[in-house]
Amino acid sequence: MKTPSTAATATFGLEPAGYRKLLDQFTQARRILVYSGAGLSADSGLPTYRGAGRHLWTGDTVRRVATLEGYARDPAFAVEWYIEQGGWLHAARPHEGHRALQALDAFWQVTHVTQNVDVLLEAAGCAKVLHLHGRYDELRCLNCDWHGRAARPEDLRPPCPNCGGQRRPSIVWLGEMPDAALVAQAEADAAAAELVLVIGTPAEMYPGAAIVETAHRAGAGICVINPEWCENLHYAHWQLFGTAHAVLPGLARDALARRQAEGRAVPWYWRWLAEWVR
Ligand SMILES: [Zn+2]
Q: What is the mean pLDDT of the chain?
A: 89
**Cα dihedral sign, 174-175-176-178:** positive
Give how far Cα 107 sits from Cα of 18, 29, 125, 222, 244, Å.
22, 10, 15, 19, 20
Q: What percent of the chain has pLDDT over 90?
A: 78
Q: Sign of the CA dihedral 72, 73, 77, 81?
A: negative
pLDDT tens, 241-275?
999 999 999 999 999 999 988 876 555 555 566 56
Rounded Cα distance between 99 and 80, Å, is 32
Per annotation, catalytic residue among 112, 131, 133, 245: 133
Average pLDDT rounded to a whole number, residues 49-60 = 53
Q: Which residues are CB-contacts of 248 (< 8 A; sequence separation ≥ 6)? A: 96, 97, 100, 101, 199, 225
Question: What local confidence, expressed as pLDDT, does residue 92 receive?
Answer: 94
CATH H superfamily, domain 49-91+136-171: SIR2/SIRT2 'Small Domain' (3.30.1600.10)
Q: Where are the chain's structural domains?
A: 1-6+13-46+94-133+180-278, 49-91+136-171
Q: CA 209, CA 183: separation in Å to the nearest integer?
A: 11
What is the rounded average pLDDT of the residues 184-204?
A: 96
* Integer angstrom CA distances of residue 124 from 3, 89, 175, 273: 39, 14, 31, 36
Most confident of 35-49, 51-65, 133-147: 133-147
**Is residue 98 annotated as a catalytic residue, yes or no?**
no
pTM of the predicted structure, to 2 decimals: 0.88
Does 53 score more than 50 pLDDT? no
Fold of 1-6+13-46+94-133+180-278: Rossmann fold (3.40.50)
Say how many Å lie between the CA of residue 72 and the centre of ligand 1: 14
Q: How far is the CA of 170 from the centre of ligand 1 (A)?
A: 13
Residue 166 CA to ligand 1 centre (angstroms) = 7
pLDDT above 60 (res 7) = no
- How large is the average pLDDT for residues 179-207? 95
Q: What is the pLDDT of residue 205?
A: 85
